[in-house]
Structure formats: C-alpha cells, structure tokens
Chains A and B, each alone.
Chain A
C-alpha cells in the first residue's frame, strides 16, 4: 500500500509537522525502513512524499492548523487522511493500519 505524504505550506503551523510525520513513521518501521518508497507492497504501508500527478492508496495530508488549506488537486488517491492541529497520531496510525490490513486481507 502506497501512502503519499503531503504537507500544507506551513505559514503558521501550531506544531512541528515533520516531527509529527516522524512519529507516525515510527509506528510503521517494520513495514519499511525507507522513506520515499515509490512502489507498493501488499500488507505493508510504504510512505513517500506525494509527487504531483502521482496515485496513492492513501494520501496523508499534514496541515499545520485546522484551516487545513493544503491543496490535493494534483494527486489521485483511494483514501485521504488529513490532520490539522496536533494530537492526531493515534487516529492516523489506526486508520493506516486498518487500511493496510484490509488490503492484505482482500488479497
């Protein structure tokens, strides 16, 4: 499963957005030890920065505040998880785990 990571532009973030990503990634270390994965593997959540025009199973949008103004028009994706202010790591981890396991079971 490919997880594309997209940041908002970060004009006035209320928390450390890349720090939050690191924390999320730490929950999926077993799936992949490399960020910027450009391929998909069933049963594994492989993360990478979303590239313009790219297709992702999950688009993870990390926004600095609840305005969540990041644009996602340039990507195609199955599911989208967008986070605003901090405190959402458990929710993100739960959702990505669910999507990953659902995909693995579907195989």
Chain B
C-alpha cells in the first residue's frame, strides 16, 4: 500500500472500534472530539509532509525489509545518516506543529525491539526477531501509527514489580496458552495512544528472575478485546470546547495527547509476542528504547523551541521593545540553548553504531547528555519567552471580550470589544488581535495545553533526570579520566 495522506489516516481511525473514556464518560466519536482532534491533526501532518516535495527527503526512507518507500517514522535506521535525518525530521515537525506529534515513541520502539529480539533469539533460541520483522513489514506496508508503550503505573516506587500490593501495577502475563498469552496491567502517560492503530508494549524496567512474568513485549491492536483508554486531561483543555476560542487556544490546530491504556486480560497471539519471560533481555530493551527516545528530544523539542523563539521575537516587535539590547540578547540566549540541544541530538546520532541485527543505535552517553539538557533548557527558554512577553499573556481578557458588541454604559459609549481592543494595543501599526494571538500562543506553550509537551514531557518523558544521571555515571568512565590526570600530573602509584 502507498503512503497514506493525512485525510486517509483520519479515515482509517474511524474504522477502529477503540474504547475511549474522558471526563467520566465513554466517547464514541473520539475522532471528531474537539479535545482530541488537535492531537489527531498533529499525527496527520506526519503523513501529509511525506507527500510534499519540500519535506519528503526527511519524511521518507527506503525500507530495508521490503525495498519500498516508507514513512521515516516506520524505518529501521540503516546508518548514522539515517539517525541524523531522524532528528532533523523531528525538528521539522516540531516547527510545523509546536506540539508533540506523537509518532516518535513507535519509531523508537521498533528500532529497540528489532535489535533486542535478534540478540535474545541468539541466546534463547526463540523466534521473536522473525515475528517482529513480519509485524514491522505489516506496519510499514500499511503506514500505521504505533504507540511505543513502556511506562507502567508502577505503584510504590520503592518496590520491585512482584513486591507491589497490587500485581497489576506492572503489565504481566497471567496465562500462557498453546496459541499465545493473556496479559493484564496498564501503561500510563501513553503518547498518541488513542489515535494509534497499534500498541507495541515493552517492560518498563529491568526484571529479575523471580519476576519473569513481567518480562513481556508484544504488539496489540488499539481496539482489541479487553483494552480501553482513559484520556489524560491537560491544562486549559476545556478551552477547546468553547465556541470561537481560536485566539484563546493559542494553537488551535495542533496538540499532544497522553492516555492510560488498560489491559484487562488481553489475548496476544504467538506471532505478536517479542519477549515472554526472557527476563535477562528486559533491561537491554529498556536501555535501547530510552536511548533512542533521549535522542528524539534533541529534535522535537528544538523544533518547538524554534517556534517559541519566533513568537518571543514577534511579541517584542508588537510591544515595541525589539530594539532593546537585553531583548536582543535574550533572543540570542534562547537560540543558543535551543541549538545546543540540537547539537546533542546530532552528536549522539553521528556517533551511532550498528547493532548485531544491523540497524543503527545512538551513542548512549551522548543521548543521555542530550536528554539531561532537555530537562533544563526548555524551562530556561520558556522563562525568557515569558520575560519578553510581559504579564499580559496571563492577564488578558478572553477572545469573547475582544469581539463583544456589548455597549458599556459610560460617557464614551464604546463596546466591550472596542474598550479592550483600545487598551491592549501595542505598537500602532499592529492589530490588537495579532498581539493577543502571539501572547496566547506563548501562554499555550508556557502553561497551557502545550506545556505538557514542552515542559513536563521534557522533564519526565524518556525518563526523569535522575535516570540520565545514572547512565551518565555508568558511561562516563571516571577511572580513565583519573588516569589521564595522573599521567599529566606525573603521579606514579
């Protein structure tokens, strides 16, 4: 099948019988739901840009499995050039959506499951790699979206999987059958899960022998029996339900999405199983997925940062502050921080290497450094944007006030719209509405719905900061650095 268009993708979602809950209710037509729609639009653009000659070089790749042209989001990286193009594609999409476009987790899961199953099969004589190749060929041929699902609810963070009061707090096998397995549990924070066709489930952390029923990886359709999702609400989300609120939304068209995905005894057929109690490979899978995903943030967050820097520069123009030297300097600082993140994304890609299975893995140390910076720099970039924007981004009246004809019974006899438009004007030649639009856009990223993607996801997505520090400590080779110092200082032990 050829690459889908965005419209075809949206139509394909309508054919699914996905069970979605939100605000205490079952949502039957979730495809057209105003709260969910922006996240669907975001994924749709990953399809449309693949058809656009201006972007196709980054958005598409040639499959090593079939030789066909596929969307890069379904690609197994074949070189360091592919790894770099992945980051560039993510930057591009961040620029186009100023949101989380949700398709990266699947791509990162494909690449980590591909190489891990190869190595697992070699040790255990299993056949997961063939299962996975067949599965990925199906995904590539049909140009499907797959949620890369790693994070379990985890319950008491101080306890291992099997020691939890409730065994379901981590996804696990409850029954092994001739034709497959039955699984129970849930995955939390699942990006784009509702508008995905499929889910690729991985363990959330290393597994010990005693807990081997938690060492499970598999693929499942979104509308499988026993599977349902609960939409995660976002800051300011109900603005999307208001009529004529496109100014107040800040970003009317695009947005991210996370949900809780619950498995209440879901059957997984044998050919969709990629790990089943081989606990010694759970840690490898987690580490590889986390590595790829830490690289991803060196692209996607940079793209969103590009738009935010542009917005800050625009608001400075509209406020008449653009010539102030400290404003210029703050814009330089924002650019410097943003490009530093990009440097990390490109560096860990350029230093990638082939796995035993043949696809390319990023440099783990540099990818962890990349993500560690991502837990910090977007906060500083957004702080500077708020500084430049001024307080109005959080105190201005609503779009309904600006558009209101309601006459205010005072001497001037102006309408509410006329009063607000008059007093919120910046420089004379820029319409008040343009100023309001860009301020609301900054609000959306700083503390509205898109803050989920730009701030908290930068902090915790792909692992909380401490997770990277552990990897940096492990990979930093302090012993060798001590030796270097000893040699130069002339220390002989």
Contact = CB atoms under 8 A, between A and B. Distances in A.
A9 B69 contact: no
Nearest to A9: B58
Given A10-B92, A12-B91, A12-B306, A49 B85 contact: no
A9 B53 contact: no
A10 B306 contact: no
Interface string B22-65: 00000000000000000000000000000001111111001000
Given A11-B92, A12-B306, A69 B85 contact: yes
B84 interface: yes
B462 to A, nearest CB: 20
B149 interface: no
A8 interface: yes
A6 B59 CA distance: 14
Given A10-B58, A12-B306, A52-B69, A5 B53 contact: yes
Contact of B54 (A18, A52, A69): A18
Interface string A52-83: 10000000000000000111001000000000
Interface string B71-95: 0000000000100110111011000
A17 interface: yes
Classify chain A's interface size.
Answer: 10 to 19
A17 to B, nearest CB: 6
B56 A9 contact: yes
A59 to B, nearest CB: 13
A17 B85 CA distance: 18
Contacts of A70: 57
B416 to A, nearest CB: 40
A52 B50 CA distance: 13
A17 B57 contact: no
> In this complex, which of A5, A9, A11, A71 has the most chain B Cβ atoms within 10 angstroms of its Cβ?
A11
B69 A7 contact: no
A69 B53 contact: no
A74 B54 CA distance: 16
A4 B126 CA distance: 48
Interface of A: 5-12, 17-18, 49, 52, 69-71, 74
Interface of B: 53-59, 62, 69, 81, 84-85, 87-89, 91-92, 306, 342
22 contacts: A5-B53, A7-B54, A7-B55, A7-B56, A8-B57, A8-B58, A9-B55, A9-B56, A9-B59, A9-B89, A9-B92, A10-B55, A10-B92, A11-B88, A12-B92, A12-B306, A12-B342, A18-B54, A69-B81, A69-B84, A69-B85, A74-B62
Given A9-B88, A11-B87, A70-B57, 16 more contacts: A7-B53, A7-B55, A7-B56, A7-B57, A8-B57, A8-B58, A9-B56, A10-B54, A10-B55, A10-B92, A11-B91, A12-B91, A12-B92, A12-B342, A17-B54, A69-B81
